[in-house]
Amino acid sequence: MKWNVRMLTLMLWLCVTAIAVKAQNKDMIQGKWVMILEDGKLEFTLKQDWKGEHEYRFEHDFQASDFEGYQMGTNVTFYLRKPAGTITFQGEVKSENGSGSYSFAPNMDFIHSMTSMGYPELATQEMMFLTVKGTDLDHLQSIKKLGYGNLNSGDLMAFIALDITPAFIRDLQEAGLKDLAASQIISNKALKIDGARIKQLKKAFGEDLSQEEITSLVAMQVDEQYVESVRKLGFNLSADMLVQFKAMQIDATYIEDMKRSGFKNLNPDMLVQFKALGITPAYLKDLASLGYDGLSNEDIVQMKVANIDKAYITEMKEAGYPNLTASQIAQFKLFKIDQRFIEKATNFNDGKKPSPDKLIQMKATMESPR
């Protein structure tokens, strides 16, 4: 979890500074650093002010061996030298913490080689990111050979931040996901979808499973246990419908409760509709207690859409309409027929209560006074 938070913070920092740092061209970056020793790692936080208006910061773990000249002292200078550039650190280093200032200078030869490969020219801040991550030209060349040499700067930064390697890309391709867009590779890595997971999903759902379906299944945490639990209840669902079920929190318990409560001929689409409308066994029980039992699924949906509840059914019974059908009482509610309107309609009808259909017609055409 700590790694994920750190990566998200770092990627957000890059996105927020992307426009601002373009103005820097390839000038030197300066800022402040602090360090603490934790679990044998040097946890560095690099901070940078932008025109005195904002402070940008990100964190990264290092080993002492990553640096040149790293040592303890009150006024020390040490370096992080990588293919993309050099970060020079100055300040105080103690056994368990440290702080000071830093400056970064990009490697212009590295930049030239990158652009010669077809990659975009990066801002200084982005070059510093490549330096922190230790990105080299061989890595970029290997990615290019796999068809990803035309990445925009945002996708390239995501590739580097998520540690997307040529081996990871080949793993996806060997699992059957070929010609993926950069954004799809990024999604797979972010969701921890690798070749083994893809093969597992295809075994469960079929070899024709698409990238979009794979992404949805993993994002919604549809696993084999969930699939088996609904299959045991007679629902052999497609990947798309399983995603809908999981999104609506339809599980084996909900299905069993609905069946026990008398819901008949339940199909996947109907279950999704029921869950979306908040139709529960308790709702069906309330309707049955007021004389509405043996309803069709369509009747139940119609009554729920009209927000028919115990209070309204009771009100209509007291107003002289104890035997309304599901369709009639739903129309009553949709047309906002209440006791006050019924009294006026009765007076308008020579003191006789209009039939349910007549009352609906009167309300719809305003034949009776409001």
Given pLDDT bands bounded at 50, 70 and 90, which one contains residue 54? Answer: low
Question: How do residues 72-118 score in pLDDT, each as one tens digit?
Answer: 999 999 999 999 999 999 999 999 999 999 999 999 999 999 999 99
If you average pLDDT over residues 268-278, what whole number do you get?
A: 94
Q: Which pLDDT does position 53 carry in this prediction?
A: 57
Amino acid symbol at 249? Q
Per-residue pLDDT tens digits for 290-304: 899 888 889 999 999
More confident residue, 157 or 9: 157
Alpha carbon of 125 to those of 20, 25, 370: distances in Å? 9, 10, 70
pLDDT > 90: percent of the chain:
72
At residue 23, the pLDDT reads 42
Two structure tokens written together for 203: 């075994």
pLDDT value at 271 more than 70: yes
Question: How high is the pLDDT of residue 17?
Answer: 46
Q: What is the pLDDT of residues 225-248, one digit of tens each?
A: 999 999 999 999 999 999 999 999
User: What integer pLDDT is reported at residue 50 of this predicted model?
Assistant: 62
- Residue 24, pLDDT > 50, answer no
Q: What is the band of 338 on the pLDDT scale with cuts at 50, 70, 90?
A: very high
Cα–Cα separations (whole angstroms), residue 111 to 19, 59, 123: 19, 24, 10
pLDDT-derived band at 360, boundaries 50, 70, 90: very high
Predicted local distance difference test score (pLDDT) of residue 255: 92
- Exposure of 227 by Cβ count < 10 A (0-12 exposed, 13-18 middle, 19+ buried)? buried
pLDDT at 22 over 60: no
Which tens digits make up the pLDDT trace of 124-179? 999 999 999 999 999 999 999 999 988 999 999 999 999 999 999 999 999 999 88
* Cβ–Cβ under 8 Å, residues 189 and 164: yes
With contact defined as beta carbons under 8 Å apart, do 35 and 42 qualify? yes
Contact yes or no for 47/57 (Cβ under 8 A): yes
**pLDDT confidence tier of residue 260, bands split at 50, 70 and 90:** confident
Q: Read off the pLDDT of each residue in 295-316 and give the average, rounded to a whole number.
A: 93
Cβ–Cβ under 8 Å, residues 87 and 45: no
Q: What is the pLDDT of residue 19?
A: 42
Query: Is the pLDDT reported for residue 6 higher than 60?
Result: no
Residue 137: the pLDDT is 97
Q: Please give the pLDDT value at position 316.
A: 95
Confidence of residue 207 (pLDDT cuts 50, 70, 90): confident
**What pLDDT score was predicted for residue 266?**
87
307 pLDDT higher than 70: yes
